[in-house]
Amino acid sequence: MISSLATQAPLPLAYYRNSPSIYKTKPSTYFPRFFSGFLGPISSPAIRPLCSKSGEVGGMASSLQNQDSISYLTQREAAEIDETLMGPLGFSVDQLMELAGLSVATSIAEVYKPSEYNRILAICGPGNNGGDGLVAARHLYHFGYKLFVCYPKRTAKPLYSGLVTQLESLLIPFLSVDELPVDLSKDFDILVDAMFGFSFHGSPRPPFDNLIQKLVHLHSCGQMQHKSPVIVSVDIPSGWHVEEGDVGGQGIKPHMLVSLTAPKLCAKKFSGPHHFLGGRFVPPTIAEKYKLQLPQYPGTSMCVRIGKPPQIDISALRENYISPEFLEEQAEADPMDQFYKWFEDAVVAGLKEPNAMALSTTGKDRKPDGSTMGPLEAPAPSGILEKIWELFKKCLNFLKNFAFPSTKYEIRAFNLSSSRMVLLKGVNKDGFVWYTNYESRKARELSENPHAALLFYWDGLNRQVRVEGSVQKVSDEESEQYFHSRPRGSQIAAIVSKQSTLVPGRDVLHQQYKELEEKYSDGSLIPKPKHWGGYRLQPERFEFWQGQQSRLHDRLEYSPQEINGKRVWRIVRLAP
């Protein structure tokens, strides 16, 4: 596919950095372009769970809290806290239920992605715990899961009737106990146990005793099956004693427990891989009264992991990407236009630092440190110095090969390319711009070999873009202008940091920073250091990658060529 090379007006990145979002969208089949600085609407966004970065590895971005340092509540304390919340503190039942259900949904989405665990059955009891399950089902539907609800003993109160109506309006099927399959493992990927909470005592009555046994049976069967549904218990695994846990050892063995407000004492007996805390509504007065030690929720998260994360089998970590196809006829004629389009999608999707890119450089003769010859390759002097030099080389060889054998591996490392993350600060028809220290390792490598490769990775959209080309410094005027647009703290840091050189300790940097901060405390202009400025990569090759199912990814490569004296871009598809 051959297309003409078109020009493109500069695209200011400052515009994008002022578009924060707590939403993470999945790519739609079409994202409207924006013109003259206006963003178009997004079609069919999927809400990002209000928890930390999701992943089957168990939410590595979650705040991990030592289980021994967390407070655990007795049944009486849990009841008193609820009474206080809904009494003097003015919370209503539906408010607490909404927050609790949202916490459960985000905890599930944190670990079990809808692409792998799509079919969810929420089994809800007649009390508040069941209401939490109904709310969670609604949120999980909007997160992209396929929901089914079993709610055999419906509560006639308006709050619960309203929750049922909301789910029915979403066409979520309600299944009676008789309609449930005998073997739940064939029809569902996740089973939400929302039957009984901390206020329950005694023995479960029909039909919940039978439902609990179905979940218990799944655990024993799951040990023999390759994959069985995961069980998520809301606050208390149904049938457990609130304080003593699974007394007889014959109860539900959930894979995930989502404690609400604070973990109950029985949570100490939980041995599953995923324990989360939700219900981000505990005011300081209650925390002080009950001496609660609760973890900090990260950012805007509605859940936080507590306890140790599960052991990770790295070989089993995989993502089955679900994305719209990226076909040749959909690609822009000019790769810069295609980059602008995908970059806009990443910004609108609210991805963190969409302008972050991996920069790979290589020194001359493939030595990224910028050196062109090792110490043994240096020209030897003549006369008596020649004999001294020969003796020195023999001693050096002895040290390398015998006294310090690891040295040869360290030297070998200098024969490889080097990579680091930097931030794109400008892009237009002339190329991609970033700023750095001109005395850094990457700068030394670029002085020897003025070619580099960039890689943008946008996880939320299952996309990456590779760009390769030649590199040159931007003008002093351009560097000066950008330097003074930075926060004053960043300007001072650029002076303090002699990038890639050895530093005695962090305190040295802080002391130098403090001295310069005081020096320029009057607001005077901070001079740009001569060793700091920008680079521009002029692209010579692009590759646009869109993740697809079963590793059949889309890869479209752009490369320039001349036809009839005119430079055009050739687009080809590469095997994944």
Domain boundary among the residues 267, 287, 306 is at: 306
What local confidence, expressed as pLDDT, does residue 248 receive? 86
Percent of the chain with pLDDT over 90: 68
Give a yes or no: residue 512 inside a domain: yes
Question: How far does Cα 564 stand from its chain's mean position?
Answer: 47
Q: 133 lies in which domain range?
A: 75-306
Question: How far does Cα 283 stand from its chain's mean position?
Answer: 29
Residues 211 and 342 in one domain: no
Residues 160 and 276 in one domain: yes
248 annotated ligand-binding residue: no
Q: Which of 340, 564, 510, 503 is nearest to 432 (CA)?
A: 340
What local confidence, expressed as pLDDT, does residue 61 receive? 39
* Helix, strand or coil, per DSSP, at residue 388: helix
DSSP bridge partners of 568: 4, 561
199 annotated ligand-binding residue: yes
Segment 151-205, tens digit of pLDDT: 999 999 999 999 999 999 999 999 999 999 988 988 999 999 999 998 887 788 9
Residues 286 and 348 in one domain: no
Residues 485 and 550 in one domain: yes
272 annotated ligand-binding residue: no
What local confidence, expressed as pLDDT, does residue 9 receive? 41
101 annotated ligand-binding residue: no
Residue pLDDT tens, the chain, 576 long: 544 444 344 444 543 333 333 333 333 333 333 333 333 333 333 333 455 443 333 343 345 556 668 999 999 999 999 999 999 999 999 999 999 999 999 999 999 999 889 999 999 999 999 999 999 999 999 999 999 999 999 999 999 999 999 999 999 999 999 999 988 988 999 999 999 998 887 788 999 999 999 999 886 655 444 568 999 999 999 999 999 999 988 899 999 999 999 999 999 999 999 999 998 999 999 999 999 999 999 999 999 999 776 677 788 777 888 899 999 999 999 999 999 999 999 999 999 999 999 999 998 755 434 444 444 344 545 677 777 777 877 776 666 555 544 444 444 444 468 999 999 999 999 999 999 999 999 999 999 999 999 999 999 999 999 999 999 999 999 999 999 999 999 999 999 999 989 999 999 999 999 999 999 999 999 999 999 999 999 999 999 999 999 999 999 999 999 988 888 999 999 999
Residues 250 and 341 in one domain: no
Rounded Cα–Cα distance for residues 407 and 411 (Å): 6
* Helix, strand or coil, per DSSP, at residue 396: helix
Q: By the 8 A CB rule, do 184 and 155 touch?
A: no
235 annotated ligand-binding residue: yes
Residues 340 and 267 in one domain: no
Rounded Cα–Cα distance for residues 494 and 436 (Å): 9
Using alpha carbons only, give the angle 237, 238, 243 rounded to the nearest 5 degrees: 65
Residues 86 and 184 in one domain: yes
Give a yes or no: residue 518 inside a domain: yes
How much of the chain is in helix, strand and coil states, percent to nearest 5?
35, 20, 45
Q: By the 8 A CB rule, do 59 and 115 touch?
A: no
Residues 445 and 569 in one domain: yes
What local confidence, expressed as pLDDT, does residue 373 receive? 41
Domain boundary among the residues 256, 287, 306 is at: 306
Residues 299 and 354 in one domain: no
Q: By the 8 A CB rule, do 363 and 449 touch?
A: yes
* Number of separate domains in the chain: 2
201 annotated ligand-binding residue: yes
Q: By the 8 A CB rule, do 61 and 301 touch?
A: no
Q: What's the CATH number where 555 sits? A: 2.30.110.10
Give a yes or no: residue 319 inside a domain: no
Residues 79 and 119 in one domain: yes
Residues 300 and 351 in one domain: no
Q: Which of 141, 14, 15, 63 is nearest to 300 (CA)?
A: 63
132 annotated ligand-binding residue: yes
Residues 285 and 355 in one domain: no
276 annotated ligand-binding residue: no
Give a yes or no: residue 21 inside a domain: no
345 annotated ligand-binding residue: no
200 annotated ligand-binding residue: yes
197 annotated ligand-binding residue: yes
Give a yes or no: residue 359 inside a domain: yes
Q: What's the CATH number where 205 sits? A: 3.40.50.10260
198 annotated ligand-binding residue: yes
505 annotated ligand-binding residue: no
For strands 230-234 and 256-260, give the pairing.
parallel
CA distance readout (Å), 239 to 52, 125, 250, 306: 30, 12, 10, 23
339 annotated ligand-binding residue: no
What local confidence, expressed as pLDDT, does residue 183 receive? 87
Rounded Cα–Cα distance for residues 323 and 342 (Å): 14
Rounded Cα–Cα distance for residues 239 and 352 (Å): 42
Give a yes or no: residue 38 inside a domain: no
Domain boundary among the residues 288, 306, 324 is at: 306
Give a yes or no: residue 315 inside a domain: no
Q: By the 8 A CB rule, do 466 and 454 touch?
A: yes
Give a yes or no: residue 353 inside a domain: yes
DSSP bridge partners of 87: none
Rounded Cα–Cα distance for residues 51 and 49 (Å): 5
